[in-house]
A and B are shown apart, each in its own frame.
Chain A
Amino acid sequence: MLEIKNLHAGIDGKEILKGLDLKIEAGEVHAIMGPNGSGKSTLANVLAGRPHYHVTSGTVTYEGKDLLALPAEERAREGVFLAMQYPVEIPGVNNIYFLKAAYNAMRKHRGEEELDAVEFLQLVREKMKVVELDESFMNRGVNEGFSGGEKKRNEIFQMAVLDPKLAVLDETDSGLDIDALRIVAEGVNALRSEKHAVLVITHYQRLLRYLIPDFVHVLANGRIVKSGGKELAEELEQKGYDWIEQVA
Chain B
Amino acid sequence: MKVAVETDVLQRIREQAAQRFEQLGWPTPRLEEWRYTNLAPVTRVEWKRADAPVIGDPGLTYRTRALAELVFVNGVFSSELSDVATGFSPSRDRLKPVLQVTTLRNASAETLEQHFARYADYETHAMVALNTANAQDGAVIEVDDAREGFIHLLFVGTDGFASHPRNLIIAGRASQLTVVETYIGSGTYFTNAVTEIVAGDGAVVDHIKLQCESIGAFHVGTVQVHQERASSVTQRCISIGAAIARTDVNVALTGEGASLTLDGLFAGTGTQHLDNHTVVDHVKPHCESIELYKGVLDEAARGIFDGRVIVREGAQKTVSRQENHNLLLSATAVVDSKPTLEILNDDVKCNHGSTIGQLDEGAMFYLRSRGIGEDEARGLLIYAFASEIADRIKVEPVREQIRRTLFQSMPDRLPERRGGAQ
Contact = CB atoms under 8 A, between A and B. Distances in A.
Contact of B373 (A50, A91, A105): A105
B367 A98 contact: yes
Interface of A: 48-51, 71-73, 75-77, 81-82, 84, 87-88, 90-93, 98-99, 101-102, 105-106, 109, 141-142, 158, 162
A77 B368 CA distance: 10
Given A51-B361, A101-B376, A101-B380, A90 B371 contact: no
Contacts of A109: 371
Contacts of B381: 90, 92-93
A73 B373 contact: yes
A71 B368 contact: yes
A123 to B, nearest CB: 15
B371 A88 contact: no
B380 A76 contact: no
Given A77-B371, A105-B371, A72 B380 contact: no
Contacts of A82: 369
A26 to B, nearest CB: 20
B383 interface: yes
A102 B370 contact: yes
Contacts of B61: none
A166 to B, nearest CB: 13
Given A93-B380, A101-B376, A88 B363 contact: yes
Given A102-B372, A105-B371, 13 more contacts: A49-B368, A71-B374, A72-B369, A73-B377, A92-B381, A92-B383, A92-B387, A93-B380, A93-B384, A105-B373, A158-B370, A162-B370, A162-B371
Tell me which of A73, A77, A141, A162 has the highest count of chain B C-beta atoms within 10 A of its own C-beta: A73
Interface residues of B, number: 23
B34 interface: no
Contacts, number: 76
A101 B304 CA distance: 34
Contacts of A141: 384
A141 B381 CA distance: 11
Interface in B188-247: none
A93 B377 CA distance: 10
B365 A90 contact: no
Contact of B371 (A87, A91, A102): A102
A139 to B, nearest CB: 13
Interface in B346-377: 360-363, 365-374, 376-377
A50 B365 contact: yes
A170 to B, nearest CB: 11
Contact of A90 (B366, B369, B374, B376): B366
A41 B306 CA distance: 44
A71 B372 CA distance: 11
Contacts of A162: 370-371
B385 interface: yes
A196 B154 CA distance: 58
B370 A98 contact: yes
Nearest to A48: B369
Contacts of B376: 101, 105
Contact of B369 (A49, A91, A142): A49
Given A73-B373, A101-B376, A90 B368 contact: no
A105 B377 CA distance: 12
22 contacts: A48-B369, A49-B368, A71-B368, A72-B368, A73-B371, A73-B373, A73-B377, A76-B369, A82-B369, A84-B369, A88-B362, A90-B360, A90-B381, A92-B384, A93-B367, A93-B384, A99-B370, A101-B376, A105-B371, A106-B371, A109-B371, A162-B370
B383 A90 contact: no
B236 to A, nearest CB: 17
B338 to A, nearest CB: 25
Contacts of B372: 73, 98, 101-102, 105
Nearest to A52: B361
Tell me which of A50, A109, A141 has the highest count of chain B C-beta atoms within 10 A of its own C-beta: A50
Nearest first, the 7 A-B pairs at minimum CB distance are: A92-B384, A76-B371, A102-B370, A72-B368, A105-B371, A73-B368, A88-B362
A21 B171 CA distance: 74
Tell me which of A102, A109, A162 has the highest count of chain B C-beta atoms within 10 A of its own C-beta: A102
B336 interface: no
A63 to B, nearest CB: 16
Contacts of B383: 92
B121 interface: no
A14 B384 CA distance: 35
A88 B377 CA distance: 14
Tell me which of A48, A49, A101, A109 has the highest count of chain B C-beta atoms within 10 A of its own C-beta: A101
